[in-house]
């Protein structure tokens, strides 16, 4: 719950930046709607409902963040606990801050973090696809059919199916997500030892 709440708070605070980033990244060479970051902010504010225009697609992001963060932390914790219970000498080592406590070896930490990230990403990915489509908004020709989260999900599923619609781009996302989560969890565990929290 703590991981989910932290993730949702961060998303709400930084969502307008993500919206502008997606819009700028989607521009095709020669067809620039926005001349830069400031122009994108001004245009979205003026043409898409003011302040609320920056939060288009927030609901699927929040609904995806809760299971992503929750599943990620739960999976990592479970893998760590099972690994240290069933193969302590193979997978674990004494903690540098408290020799009475076993912690995962660094390479095992990386593996568990990567697996946790992959599982969490797989579960929450349809929300990510929905968010991106909603963020693009008026840039897409079918945007009138994708005004709400459910309309967008139904549209993507109806026109593209599961594999080529709701999970389109998942394999590329693994390339970013798996190493990111592996490093994040490993850093978290090392910082716990550094600050003597074991």
Encode pLDDT of 46-86 as tens digits. 999 899 999 999 999 888 888 888 899 999 999 999 999 99
Domains with residue ranges and CATH for the chain: 1-55 (no CATH), 58-195 (1.50.40.10)
Let me know how many helices (H) and strands (E) the chain has, helices first. 7, 2
For 75-119, the pLDDT digits (tens) are: 999 999 999 999 999 999 999 888 999 999 999 999 999 999 999
Quote the distance between the C-alpha of residue 51 and its chain's center. Answer: 23
Share of the chain above pLDDT 90, in %: 65
Note the pLDDT tens digit of each residue in 146-183.
888 999 999 999 999 999 999 999 999 999 999 999 99
142-157 exposure pattern, b = at least 16 Cβ within 10 A, e = fewer: eeeebeebeebbebbe
- pTM, two decimals, is 0.79
């Amino acid at each position: 719950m703590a991981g989910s709440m932290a993730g949702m708070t961060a998303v709400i605070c930084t969502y307008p930046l993500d919206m502008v980033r997606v819009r700028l990244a989607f521009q095709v060479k020669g067809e620039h709607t926005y001349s830069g970051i400031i122009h994108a902010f001004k245009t979205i504010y003026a043409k898409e409902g003011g302040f609320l225009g920056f939060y288009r697609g927030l609901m699927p992001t929040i609904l995806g963040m809760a299971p992503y963060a929750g599943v990620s932390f739960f999976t990592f914790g479970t893998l760590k606990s099972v690994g240290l219970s069933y193969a302590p000498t193979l997978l674990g080592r004494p903690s540098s801050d408290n020799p009475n406590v076993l912690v995962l070896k660094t390479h095992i930490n990386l593996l568990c973090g990567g697996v946790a990230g992959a599982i969490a990403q797989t579960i929450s990915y349809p929300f990510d696809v929905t968010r991106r489509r909603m963020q693009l908004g008026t840039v897409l020709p079918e945007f009138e059919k994708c005004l709400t989260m459910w309309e967008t999900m139904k549209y993507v599923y109806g026109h593209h199916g599961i594999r080529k619609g709701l999970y389109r781009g998942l394999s590329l996302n693994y390339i970013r997500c798996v190493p990111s989560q592996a490093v994040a969890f490993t850093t978290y565990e090392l910082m716990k030892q550094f600050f003597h929290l074991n």
